[in-house]
Structure 1
Amino acid sequence: MTQKVVITGATAGIGLATARTLHAAGWEIIAIGRRDDRLRDLADEFGGERIHTVAMDVRDGQAIGRLRAIVGVPDAIVNNAGGARGLERADAAQLDDWLWMIETNVIGLVRLTHLFLPDMVARGSGTIVNVGSVAGEFPYPGGNVYGATKAFVRQFTLNLRADLAGTGVRVTDVEPGMVGGTEFSLTRFGGDESRAAEVYEGMTPLGPDDVAEVIAFVLSRPAHVNINTVAFMPTDQGFGPFKVARHDDV
């Protein structure tokens, strides 16, 4: 029997790679994204087989509420839609950027999870994969609200695990480090392509396919296995020293 997976943010980057990887593995894909033209391209790529597309923004609560009638109850959810806006120090950040990250990375993820979770529990099976970030565990300058939203994803995942033990529903937080080949940095820097490219200069980042393969691995585990958290980075990325403010008058 073909399994059905809902993937948000499926029009680019990790979401698109995940849709391709899981479709190749035999899954029926429910691809959700804001750009209808890209969704149509994806459906054409798959020959219209085992794919259903829904053009919507995960910040739209009414649109999310209609999904249940459209797609039924999926076997898995990949909560991938999200992003970062800005890298300014907190006091210089734009409030609209903070609110966009909270609405997209937190509220959209919570709404989609809440929509399908009761039916998954009633059925006694299902897997929720939340795409977090190492930024949810390790702070860095300018990461303020983005890091906070991913910390929420991490803790929400773990608390779902605490609630859902014994229900047959599994939950995993997939936490990649730097991922190139996506629109993440382009979005963060307001479409500035040169500044976005500088983020990955002189190093080899993870690619969307690397993350998609981890998600596919999580979903392919036997029903009695729940992978709580997967944190991984490119080999060229590591951990920095603590930030220390130095004052001349000391």
Structure 2
Amino acid sequence: MTSLQNQIILITGASSGIGTACARIFAGAGAKLILAARRLERLQQLKDALIKEFGIEIHLLQLDVRDRNAVESAISTLPPAWSNIDILINNAGLSRGLDKLHEGSFQDWEDMIDTNVKGLLYVSRYVVPGMVSRDRGHVVNLGSIAGHQTYPGGNVYCATKAAVRAISEGLKQDLLGTRVRVTSVDPGMVETEFSEVRFHGNTERAKTVYQGVIPLTADDVADVIFFCVTRSPHVNINEVVLMPVDQASATLVNRRTEK
């Protein structure tokens, strides 16, 4: 198993859900963390908690990955001690709405495409060249079962996650000949703020998504990511699709009357 001690790991969307779970598991392994998100107050709370528990070094970036100039500035002005990023976790992403395509919200589409596709591309474009020049590194892109199977009302969200899958594969091919690894981790149902964001803060509607099901947790996904990045340097886990036992596909879910 490859040690993560003192490796520099950049996690986008680190202020909640899978991003926060990744920060915790990597902190426990002694990594140095660059935590990026829009909500600086949340990041500061996470930083304080992780330093208290693990005594590691953490650098915070208040960053909206949709803003290309901000991404360029954030990466290019990293202090020298933080600039050689070993692992990039492209976790920032969201889903908006569950409308039929012909009734969809333009703003919802913009939010998803700008964050899930363009944001991932911007961060990768500014981080990966350094990995190539050092001939080492690992990019982990957070995809989704939605990138494999389209479901009713999922149209544009599914399209963005299919794009993540294609970008991951394309990047892996472009990096052939280097020792930079690329992994796509594609979960099914995970109980985070995901559904709350999708339904624009409607917590009651969000709860119904997981009713009668034991979904994956953010820690489950972080555990899989941790496995992928700690394999021997000659091993690349291309793609992992993980779902709860109660889910067989994007649309086939077994709902129990009681958990």
- Per the TM superposition, whether the score is higher than 0.5 is yes
SS class of match (2:245): coil
Residue 240 of structure 1 and its aligned partner are, at CA, apart by 6.7
Q: Is 1:239 matched up with 2:249? A: yes
| Identity of matched residues, % | 48
SS class of match (1:46): helix
Question: 1:152-206 CA deviation, whole Å, 9 max, x = no partner?
Answer: 00011111111112200000000000001x1100000010000000000001000
TM-score (norm 2): 0.90
Corresponding residue to 1:191 among 194, 201, 207 = 201
One-letter amino acid of the structure 1 residue matched with residue 16 of structure 2: A
SS class of match (2:24): helix
One-letter amino acid of the structure 1 residue matched with residue 240 of structure 2: V
Residue 87 of structure 1 and its aligned partner are, at CA, apart by 0.2
Question: Aligned partners of 2:143, 2:249: CA distance in 1, in Å?
Answer: 18
SS class of match (2:160): helix
Instruction: Identify the residue that residue 59 of structure 1 maps to in structure 2.
Output: 66
Instruction: Identify the residue that residue 248 of structure 1 maps to in structure 2.
Output: none
Residue 241 of structure 1 and its aligned partner are, at CA, apart by 7.7
Q: Is 1:29 matched up with 2:40? A: no
Contact 2:145 2:250 in 1 (8 A): no
One-letter amino acid of the structure 1 residue matched with residue 88 of structure 2: I
Q: Is 1:9 matched up with 2:13? A: yes
Contact 2:63 2:74 in 1 (8 A): no
Corresponding residue to 2:240 among 222, 230, 234 = 230
One-letter amino acid of the structure 2 residue matched with residue 216 of structure 1: F
Matching of residues 84-99 of structure 1 within 5 Å: 84-99=95-110
Question: Aligned partners of 1:224, 1:231: CA distance in 2, in Å?
Answer: 21
Q: Is 1:79 matched up with 2:86? A: no
Q: Is 1:42 matched up with 2:59? A: no
One-letter amino acid of the structure 1 residue matched with residue 220 of structure 2: D
Corresponding residue to 1:110 among 103, 115, 121 = 121
Question: Aligned partners of 1:140, 1:174: CA distance in 2, in Å?
Answer: 19
Change (3 A) 1:206 1:28: same
Question: Aligned partners of 1:206, 1:159: CA distance in 2, in Å?
Answer: 28
Residue 88 of structure 1 and its aligned partner are, at CA, apart by 0.7
Contact 2:188 2:250 in 1 (8 A): no
Question: Aligned partners of 1:201, 1:95: CA distance in 2, in Å?
Answer: 29
Contact 2:71 2:122 in 1 (8 A): yes
SS class of match (1:57): coil
**Structure 2, unpaired ranges of 5+:** 253-259
Contact 2:143 2:165 in 1 (8 A): yes
Question: Aligned partners of 1:66, 1:218: CA distance in 2, in Å?
Answer: 29
One-letter amino acid of the structure 2 residue matched with residue 218 of structure 1: C
Q: Which runs of 4+ in 1 moved over 4 A?
A: none
User: How many pairs does the alignment contain?
Assistant: 241
Question: Aligned partners of 1:177, 1:188: CA distance in 2, in Å?
Answer: 15
Instruction: Identify the residue that residue 144 of structure 1 maps to in structure 2.
Output: 155
Instruction: Identify the residue that residue 247 of structure 1 maps to in structure 2.
Output: none
One-letter amino acid of the structure 2 residue matched with residue 13 of structure 1: G
Question: Aligned partners of 2:189, 2:88: CA distance in 1, in Å?
Answer: 23
Question: Aligned partners of 2:12, 2:175: CA distance in 1, in Å?
Answer: 22
Question: Aligned partners of 2:251, 2:16: CA distance in 1, in Å?
Answer: 33
Residue 130 of structure 1 and its aligned partner are, at CA, apart by 0.1
Change (3 A) 1:123 1:241: closer
TM-score (norm 1): 0.94
Change (3 A) 1:229 1:240: closer
Residue 49 of structure 1 and its aligned partner are, at CA, apart by 3.0
Change (3 A) 1:74 1:240: closer
Question: Aligned partners of 2:231, 2:74: CA distance in 1, in Å?
Answer: 27
